[in-house]
A and B are shown apart, each in its own frame.
Chain A
Amino acid sequence: GDSVTQMEGPVTLSEEAFLTINCTYTATGYPSLFWYVQYPGEGLQLLLKATKADDKGSNKGFEATYRKETTSFHLEKGSVQVSDSAVYFCAQGGKLIFGQGTELSVKP
């Protein structure tokens, strides 16, 4: 069945470091892909999305490109801040199938 796999956390980085969180999916067809972020004590917020192959979603300095060939949607940010500390979820499809989440901790 359809699924999403994310790199395991927690991920700990120093401020201004480069971030990559890997996400791969299996699906029948070509689903929309999403990254959601959950800040401590809050609900999920949409961070970015892409709806077709080679689309790049971007928001708040984060980017992810829909790669059909590698069935991937890796999240990247060039320079993380302490305020980026959160749990990041990759998801696919209209009914949303989620990965297990990756906790990011950014230290000053």
Chain B
Amino acid sequence: EAQVTQNPRYLITVTGKKLTVTCSQNMNHEYMSWYRQDPGLGLRQIYYSMNVEVTDKGDVPEGYKVSRKEKRNFPLILESPSPNQTSLYFCASSLGTGIGDTQYFGPGTRLTVL
């Protein structure tokens, strides 16, 4: 089954404790992206990757890192989480960003930073 998977689905942590949220897709997609969803703000892009070893900042990259060592994986790293990073996070992938290319989303990771 074609899908985007994320782990963990739920995470409660404390300020400053490094964490990684994994994302994997099995559709051989070139493009992958991370978003955070906050009430009243919709989804905002954190980072994206056009291909292996190519990553770039989205609209809200501060406090986050990513890597793209393999085509299928795109982990999101919070080196020193803070309470304002409490949010619902989504990973997505697509063939590209051309006309009509559709992004497929993972199930989400709900992160709470105390």
Contacts and interface: CB of A to CB of B under 8 A. Distances in A.
Interface string B16-42: 000000000000000101010000111
Indicate the member of B35, B96, B101 with the most A CB atoms within 10 Å: B101
B105 A95 contact: no
A95 B35 CA distance: 11
Contact of B105 (A4, A43, A100): A43
A94 interface: yes
Contacts of A27: none
B102 A43 contact: no
Contact of A46 (B40, B102, B107): B102
Contacts of B42: 4, 89, 98-101
B100 A32 contact: yes
A45 interface: yes
A96 interface: yes
Interface string A80-102: 00000000010001111011110
A20 interface: no
Nearest to A31: B99
A32 B99 contact: yes
B75 interface: no
Contact of A43 (B45, B100, B107): B107
B48 interface: yes
A44 interface: yes
A101 B35 CA distance: 14
Interface of A: 4, 32, 34, 36, 42-46, 49, 51-52, 89, 93-96, 98-101
16 contacts: A4-B42, A32-B99, A42-B108, A43-B4, A43-B105, A44-B105, A46-B102, A51-B100, A52-B99, A94-B94, A94-B97, A94-B98, A94-B101, A95-B33, A95-B48, A99-B42
